[in-house]
Structure 1
Amino acid sequence: MSERPLHFTVDAQLLQELGERLVGRPYIALAELIKNAYDADATRVEISASHDCIVVSDNGHGMSEREFTNTWMRVGSTHKARQRHSRSFKREMTGSKGVGRLAVQLLARDTTIVTAGGDGNSGQRLEARVNWDDATREGDLTSVTVPVTTGSAGNPEFAGGSTNGTRVELRRLSQVWTARDFRHLAQEIWALQPPHDVDPDSPERFQIVFDSDLQDAYDAFSAQMRAILDIWSAQLTAKLVDVTEFQGTVVGDLPMRLSDTDDDLPDLETSDEGPTGVRVREGLDDRVLEVKVRLRDQEPVTVGFLVRGCQIHRMRCDIRVFTLQQRQAGNVKVSQARQYLERFGGIGVSDGAFRLPYYGPDQDWIDLEGSHSARRSTSKLLPAELNVQRGLLNLPTNRRVYGRVVINTAEEQRWFRRREQLRAGSDTVMEPPLSIQITRDRLVPNDAYERMRVMVRAVMDVYAMEETKRRLEATRDKRRDNPSSPTDALADVSTAVEEVAAHLPERTVREITAKVDAASRSVRALQESTREHAALLGALATAGISAMAYSHELSRQRIGLDDVVERLRSLLDDLPTERHDDARVVVDDLDAWLRRAAGLRKLLQPVLDEETRKDEKSRGAFNVLRGVRDNVTPVARGITIDLSAVPRGLMLPAASAAAWWAVFQNLFINSFNALFNAHQPAIAVDGGSGDDGREWVRVQDNGVGVGSDLTEANRFFEPFRRKLNLPPESAALGLGGTGLGLTIVRMITEEVGARAEFTIPTDDFSTAVTISWEP
């Protein structure tokens, strides 16, 4: 018996399997190559596409032969997992599984990789060619060979004419690429590219250039790459113009400074005297700031602000506001768009073509974040006619905007020197122009800069007011079509109180809040009651329809049975004498049953009779109770109802006969059910006028009772609450048992201004329900 080691082998077909499973779609595979360029600290990547070839070239640090062998030639390399940031720019790596290189196998049958640079910038050029058909035929993956040639680098053969970088040439493409595929490619990589030009040495710089003789592919890719800038909810523009050039209406003057907190900068005063320790403003011309605000799907609004003694020669800005919720156009993912604006958002400042690095999402240079966190509701920059109540609350944060302010400090300096020459020899103290600091990352905080801050912030305040008006109009339209609930209205009141709490006495805020909370509780209780009544009315509507059908069918059947009874009576004399008496008993029982059925139909009569349903007036309590008592006799099982204690002059509140019959029928039937097993059942009704001036009617019985806890007992007036389990006899007759009887009583009595409740019964009785009302 011998022992020897064996080694795992890997089938070369695994390359194709991995490419299809781990990368998936061709456009994702091509995106992996662009992401590789990003990880290689490239600032420019060029994609060239034709019918039979795709070339991706970058100006990154490239690969040495050692790096090519250890990373690109090794499937599943974990170097990106170990090295989470790029070599030079310290970018966060976009990949970590080491399978991106399998993308090229998925894309084409022939691949050429040319790279120069690498670790230590060795100056070596490497070129490798892979025929994937030959590679997969090798059988064993470790037997696959890739021919590599090396030489000296130095030729500008990479993106942007760079002498270092990587170029991947894909030939014999595995599929026909369409405009849709290139649009999907752009969806995968657009977030890598900043929306603006950045400094060539900035880690953010990553320019993607697409070139193709396929026009539809070029158009689709280009449109998708800029889709983020097309999903704005508002577009704001502004520029400085001469007073005579502005065609609209000037709505007001803009102040010198953004806020009252900027008192560390001295005011400039106009004086005919020379410098006396107080700065004298030179006689600068007035200008107009022309502001245009366009909300999505609305006509633009244009306003003008007078800028007196303007220290800035030229300025313009273009700002876009984003509402990143729900599905966005262009298949832009909301989460990806939010991350993008966190990196590149905010309002930047460009000095000519140079973007000043200081101004971005983390610098609140026009106090957007400060106003938002302080929940300021009114703009101090805008005149009263432009301010909308709580309008400034719709001011966006830096991470919801992208824009830039364009100035040119060189031009501002030339303008300053021209003014200075005109005032040569005078005592005028010149206004310093916009100037860039020695750090080259921001502007000098002088008066011209303060004026620029005011103008840019005024643009944002105008947007906030227009957005507020849009929302108010939308809310009014919505309420017109779908009125808001009282709960929503009170929630709006609570929000309004919170927003102005800082401006009100603490005691006032507490009192208002307490009253709003109390009103909210009452409204919620009312809404709950309304929902219960809606459910009740639904059940009653069903019951009413069933009752009408039942009454109609009962009447029809009774006519037929009456005829049967008469025919049976006529046949009695033909029966043998010994059976004559038995037959007569059967016929008499059947006749009695028909009379009881007729009595049952009378229970439904008030519902079926239109006059009794609609004729609302005050009625004598005794007459109503007597009529109801007579009608419920068929279901009383011999139980009598004593009405002797009901005052003859007692008048019930105005209501229809059907309403009062429904009230007392339900009370009497409840009593019948409670008395089902009583030895000496008794029901009594009395009434009168109490010491508090309220009149009342009380129904009492000596049945099972509801207990001594009247609070708990009164909960039986709520829908579908029951205590009794009805015997089969009552259930078969349909007498109660739904849990709606007492609810109907309370609903009807409340409607007429009366109150129905369980009260303490008198001696000899166990249950009392009292209905009371103001006469």
Structure 2
Amino acid sequence: MKNLVEKRGKLLFTVDSALLRELGERLVGKAHIALAELVKNSFDADATKCTITFRANEIEIVDDGHGMTLQEFERFWMRVGTTHKAGEVYSRTLRRPLTGSKGVGRLAVQFLANKVEIQSTAAGGNLSLNVKVDWNDAVHHEFITEASADFELTSSLSSYANDSPHGFRVILSGLRQDWDNQSLKGLAQEVWTLKAPFDGFAGKGNLDQSHNFNIEIESSEDTDLELSSFSQQASAAIEQWIAKIEGVIERGRKNNKQRVKITFQDGKVFEESFYVSENENCQIDSATWEIRIFNLSGHYGSKIKVGDARKYFSEFGGVHVYDGPFRLPYYGIEQDWLGIELDHSHRKVRSALLPSHFHVERALNDLPTQGRILGVVRINTGSEHQHASPRAIKSGDYLKIQVTRDRLQINKAYDQLKNAVRRSVDLYAVFSMRQRHENARRERPELSPVSQAVGLQGLLSEYKNEIPKRVYNEVSAAIETFTSSVEKEQVYSDSITSLLGPLATAGMSALALEHETSRQLSILERIAKNLSGSGIRAEESAKEIRKWILDFKSMRRVFEPLANQEDRETIKPLRAARVIDIVIDSLQHFMNSTTVTQDIPTNILLPAATFVEWQGIFQNVFTNALNAMLAVKQVRKIHVDAGYRGKNRAWVHISDSGSGVDLSDTETLFEPFRRKGDIPEQRRAMGLGGHGLGLTIVQMIAESRGCSVRFVEPAQGFNTTFEIEWRI
């Protein structure tokens, strides 16, 4: 039977007014991002100054930009999602690259406050526009098209930032968040970081158009944010760098090149060039970056304390990305977007991004951690869109921001930018390690005993004709015998020394593994028994298997250096902080409820030795500390710190809250098979002490590398402190 059409026509889409609030929540999300959107509008309006004032329940943003007429306000501000900026690459007067393109920035005010009042006077105009919007009222209408704003035009002209007769003012009231002094201060500090703290190479290009745009943050007397103090401390902290990495990509789509410049505090400068991408076309037109590296120890002078600098970098450090003059909020200390911390945790020593001829032994050991770097990466997504080819635009392979406006779209262009910046950080690590190797060579004695003997032989030859033949032959033979003996002794000494570290680690680890294997086999037997029974217990058994795998993997960390030829055989100075980090990580399986803290200056180097030797020393010392805390009921804690004595001595202290030692009788503890107290059989079976050889081995390795070891007066809050000291 044929259906009869009773009615035909078109249905129109409608948009619920609740979308205003939904978009504000989802596309803005955080208060400082919302404020950033308003500041960006000021920048796009060619303002030279934008002032943000915090009051008890009000925030005011005012600029000296070109302002808006009533027609412009109705066409652009009142239209959600307008994309007029996408077609306009530069601002109308100062030719700045426009920072907005999605047309949702004005929703930031809805996220921050329930009410907004706007004042605007257009440049060259003689009327002031006043607009009031009540967001609660707007979202109660059924459709967005029914929501409205009240306005009036007056001949009473307002004054804006810099006493300008034209500009834009936004007054937010009925704030949606509870803003106490502390939260307002935090918000103000986030806004303070909107602009990059330094420029580097960026000052030489057109990416930074912010030199004539200033953001000022003020507060009323009843909302004292101490912003001037924060600004001064931050400025002082970022000037204490020990190295600086600068990089630039110019006309990348044409030449596929990046330049890198590394500057050290002592004035040494290194410059290199690389291809942005070896295997494909460069998808980036321009980018610049500067990354500063800090040593957060010692004394910073009167302007800022080291502790304050650490706090600043722990909150605002890391490498940030700036689109035009403004920071994208996703990047920084909380995001390891360059993979630096990941490579630290995996103990990578060689860069995958640098050509092979740059390789230096253990170069990536000198990678700075997130907590002691501050970086600025500058791009301009508007300019990137303009320079992208039609094919790139169609595929999306150019630098662009996600709709959330907090990060870059992950694509080929993003990967190339990330690799270019990370390549420059790896290059810093290479040059830093090279300098350490050079310093180590300079600090060695100019002539070894063998070289001195050869020199003596040469001197003897010069006087051969003036010395009786019999005397000459006897002295010459004696020198040859001495030289041969020294050479053999050195070879023997090096071979014995190089074995001590592996033996110390292998002995302890083998016993631990034997115990752990027996324990894990028992677990497997129980799991097998469970699995052979009722199916109800299968999930429980599966959880046990997964836990077993994790435990066993944790145990294997103890053996990692023994399996690495470079760790076993390469003798060179190592960073104390890095070595101790790795040893602590390898012993996590045995730490239980022990808290380990450390305060080690990053520039302290251990005397030249293999990594396995130092691992053997620190593993034994930490093991002693863990055993000493077995019977302790209070908090179990270990603290490691290091420092200098005068100009030519350095030390490391390992302190614990264990049972303590008698300082008048500690010498006997270094004798073979001497130990303090009884260690439970279970701990001895795990290889965690109890054999009386640990401190003997520690002393043997340490002294062979020019170190002295001893127990010293405990640090405050601890019962035992073990010291390793050496001459620099």
Q: Report TM bin, short chain.
A: 0.3 to 0.5
Structure number with higher relative contact order (C-alpha < 8 Å, ≥ 6 residues apart): 2
Q: Which has the larger radius of gyration?
A: 1
Query: TM-score, normalized by length of structure 1?
Result: 0.32
Query: TM-score, normalized by length of structure 2?
Result: 0.34
